[in-house]
Structure 1
């Protein structure tokens, strides 16, 4: 039978087929070849009547493979940031977007908890990303705002939910699919940081089609895997503007004839996004020195 791995715990894998969810073990051959099945893998399984267990016989070729979280065949990333409680860290948001670009994932930005801030503040954050080309969805689980739009984006896709703890990922998923009954994390009054509630990656089945990966909240993202010469490719608006720079290898920092800086002064590129780009560029350069 064909199926997809929706959960893996302690060497056991739960495979969703058209008929049922089957508890499976992986063939020893995979261990010998140092291949580990991942959540999201499309697999072929055989049932064993003796122990009433399924066995993964084949793992089909992966479209992609993420390291954090460890999951395969994801179509898109839903990057969730709260507008308050906790305050949005746009420097961290840009790191999530950078990872999505690196993994060739379609990224969707979700600004959650819109009920906690004014329309003016919401617009100010929105303006930072309006020139990036990313789809932006404004949501509030309390007011049921943006839920239908989010459902439309998730339908018939495998999506990874990413973002810091406490931004409301589980609340949004519960609004989308109430039967999931995911545990909601509190926001610590002392630290204003979310308490982790999700402990492992798993695929959550959506009744209207598709899966989502609910993951532990991230706090950092290492940029060692990125070369400084390709960094601009992960900032769509900077890359597009950089085509018209005087020099082909322009880093958009101190070079003359830089079109990115012209677009920046004209307000077509967010200064915050540009400063984060320079921050990441410096970080990558420094990491190469050691």
Structure 2
């Protein structure tokens, strides 16, 4: 058998890079019986059934160190969460959903704000302030002015990185700017609905000239938190960790409890009000999900 990494999956075919060759593979039926779906990024062992035409079969999927559901990618080191300053409008609650799911997988998170040249309402500094004070690296970029493109390249070096974010924010455009060898289709944002058209139809790992590997993935506009428990959600708002003097200790969910240090920090401006409001919104959603199941 030969070891490799799945770099693309389309219609039940998995393209496995063994460093020397790329094989088009089907997966053994046993995976379907075990309810296991091979993912882009999986390290696998394959048997070669047709060397001339580079055909093979995925025989084994090795243990995953990380696994994302949306986008479906395995073994990612870092996530670049990409949102536009405007066009489409930036919704902080959606950004916080991405952050929660990335925190759940214990990924390093970098927030990338595209279209910085369109910041005619001075919203960039406010958004940077909210998330930098929460503990995240925030990088504004502009393809038009080449702002901070080099900083993004540094984030990608020697890592398997996933670009995640809604449609229309410029993920494919940014990848094309980072590496001129990429000729990814760039979508236009509808003037009528101000939302992006889906330009990436499948997840794919792309090798970078600057080093490392990046996953370009389909855009999407909603995320569910079905796998997040009510008691753990607070752990994914990392700024809460700095205020652990709650009366009810680790059982405090920072909502209606008296003497809650997190709520006091929000009142004092030490925790962003916007982030806390997102937390309460997501907490209620998680409760509804738990009742449903």
Which interval holds the TM-score relative to the shorter structure? Answer: over 0.9
State the Cα distance separating 1:29 from its structure 2 match. Answer: 4.5
Aligned pair 1:59/2:82, yes or no? no
In the other structure, the counterpart of 1:40 is 41
In structure 2, the CA distance between the partners of 1:3 and 1:247, relative to structure 1 (3 Å rule), is: same
**Secondary structure, in 3 states, of the residue corresponding to 2:188?**
coil
Aligned to 1:122, which of 124, 127, 130?
A: 124
- Aligned equivalent of 2:136: 134
**Aligned counterparts of 1:49 and 1:112: Cα–Cα separation in 2:** 45
Alignment of 1:109 with 2:111, yes or no, is yes
Quote the Cα distance in structure 1 between the aligned partners of 2:262 and 2:34.
47
1:149 aligns with 2:151: yes
Kept in 1: contact 2:40–2:203 (CA 8 A): yes
User: Quick one: distance in 1 between partners of 2:29 and 2:286?
Assistant: 40
Q: 1:44 offset after TM fit, Å?
A: 2.4
Q: Which residue is 1:165 aligned to?
A: 167
Q: Residue 216 of structure 1: SS of its match in structure 2?
A: coil
Match of 2:242 in 1: 240
- What's the CA shift string for 1:76-98, capped at 9, x where partnerless? 21100100111211010000000
* 1:32/1:279 CA distance change after superposition, 3 Å: closer
Q: Secondary structure at the match of 2:163?
A: strand
Q: TM-score, normalised by structure 1?
A: 0.93
Runs of at least 5 residues in structure 1 that lack an aligned partner in the other structure: none
Aligned match of 2:95 in 93, 96, 102?
93
- 2:257: which partner in 1? 255
Q: Secondary structure at the match of 2:8?
A: strand
Farther off after superposition, 3-12 or 24-33: 24-33
Q: CA deviation at 1:50?
A: 6.5
Q: Where do residues 17-36 of structure 1 align in structure 2 (5 Å cutoff)?
A: 17-36=18-37
Residue 218 of structure 2 corresponds to residue 220 of structure 1: no
Deviation at 1:157, TM superposition (A): 1.4
Superimposed CA distance per residue, residues 143-190 of structure 1 (whole angstroms, 9 cap, x where no aligned partner): 111111111111121111111111110111001111111111111111
- Taking the aligned partners of 1:15 and 1:215, their CA distance within structure 2 comes to 17
The answer to whether 1:76 aligns with 2:78 is: yes
8 Å Cα contact 2:23/2:56 also seen in 1: yes
- Structure 1 vs Structure 2 CA RMSD: 1.9
CA–CA distance in 2 between the matches of 1:40 and 1:113? 29
Residue 15 of structure 1 deviates from its aligned partner by 1.3
Distance (whole Å) between structure 1 residues aligned to residue 146 and residue 213 of structure 2: 21
Aligned length: 289
Say which SS state the counterpart of residue 134 (structure 2) adopts: coil
Q: Distance in 1 between matches of 2:203 and 2:148?
A: 25
Question: Contact between 2:229 and 2:290, CA under 8 Å: does it hold in 1?
Answer: no
The answer to whether the Cα contact below 8 Å between 2:71 and 2:164 also exists between their aligned partners in 1 is: no
Q: Distance in 2 between matches of 1:76 and 1:10?
A: 27
- TM-score scaled by length of structure 2: 0.92
Greater mean deviation of Cα atoms: 121-130 or 163-172: 121-130
The verdict on how the C-alpha distance between 1:36 and 1:280 changes in structure 2, with shifts beyond 3 A counting, is closer
